Structure 1
């Protein structure tokens, strides 16, 4: 951990020196997010619930909030299941290391696509190609913190607070297109508790918020859990590019 952390600190100091007039980085905030990244890179498996709300512009009513409840299970490096309920319907995704399967419980339809050999690569490809978004995905990227710092914005540690009954570290920052806040658990694992993004470059300034709860770490999930079985009378459909299912 030490060598990684010192490398990140050197990066921060260099960035501040180069962009001293526009970028302000708090080393405590960097350290806390680094610890979160360390945990999520080292675990063998995890599951959690993500409760997300997001704004959709309405011509007469302004921003209308919608919500999704996702239950996620991941077995690294190449297994994942996501079950979603909410304003976009009831659906599920299974990834078994070879295929990404999608099933709509509302329509009894299913589709699939070949997938890369890791969870992170599959998340990346499915997002870019099909518009499928995965809750909490950013935290699992190995370059999450480096990408955040490269945006030449600000990052501050604001102190401790209580979120969803859990003590957490509060971090806030901004870049050219958005402001963001993270709440990180005050425990040995430093797991994410909450995320808020405000898209400040948009005239309506829509928000995205996610609450992460019910974390379990390093459970030995059976591989069969990530296999999709076609339900009776289900209709096969083709996954359309950028259909933006969540």
Structure 2
């Protein structure tokens, strides 16, 4: 099974599902499938992602850390993102041949040969170097199947309002994890918010909030090409 979710990697715990009878709501699966179909049909997309993650500090108190990411993709092989947060500021560029990671804080970068499509690139860079890309899970064609494999209870819980917008509300649970997904009740049915609660570790949470969706925008190829800033240092990194 794919590493569902990439967001869960920040918690560093094994994602296991105990064998037990599954309760799967067909309405929830229908909504997730429609959302994935819309995303899969996009030729290009851009969006903003605001996220937070809980971590235990040295005194075992929960600290919440925030990130703001801006993402643009052109299928099948163009990706760029910029992330600002209290744990660092960085960006990714991917042009179908090479992926570059740049640290704004340290003014250094690494450029790596990469596979020829976005999904395979994300998998490869996570597996080899532990790079994590904003909202990567939602762009996997297998998203719904991965949810069904990882969780033994998936339910549609009616409509809820998020930022003044009506959303379909879905909860998926297993013995260790609670995942909540809000999908916009519009023709496009795009993800609006996601919350992941780690039940077996003090209810640590990850939350992601999507805004400023632009569907099929015209995007110049030049934005996917990395140009080193003045004084930037090229570095090398080891595979994990």
Deviation readout 1:68-121 (Å, 9 max, x if unpaired) = 111000000000001010112221110000010011112111111111010111
- Distance (whole Å) between structure 2 residues aligned to residue 153 and residue 240 of structure 1: 37
With normalisation by structure 1, the TM-score equals 0.86
Q: Flag the 1:107–1:151 CA change in 2: closer, same or farther, 3 A.
A: closer
* Distance of 1:122 and 1:87 partners within structure 2: 26
- Indicate how the Cα distance of structure 1 residues 163 and 152 shifts in structure 2: closer, same or farther if over 3 A, else same: closer
Q: Which residue in the other structure is 2:6 paired with?
A: none
Match of 2:219 in 1: 221
Instruction: Kindly state the Cα deviation for residue 208 of structure 1 after the two structures are TM-superposed.
Output: 0.7
Q: Structure 1 residue 21: deviation in Å?
A: 6.4
How many pairs align? Answer: 223
User: Using the alignment, how far apart are the partners of 1:164 and 1:125 within structure 2?
Assistant: 35
Aligned to 1:143: 142
Structure 1 position 152, deviation (Å) = 4.8
Partner of 1:65: 64
Which runs of at least 4 in structure 1 moved beyond 2 Å after TM superposition?
239-242
Structure 2: gaps spanning 5 or more residues: 1-18
Could you say which residue in structure 1 is the equivalent of 2:183?
Answer: 184
Determine the C-alpha separation between the residues in 2 that align with 1:209 and 1:159: 20
The corresponding residue for 2:97 is 98
Note the residue ranges of structure 1 that are not aligned, 5 or more in a row.
1-19
2:33 is matched with 34
Q: Output the TM-score relative to the length of structure 2.
A: 0.88
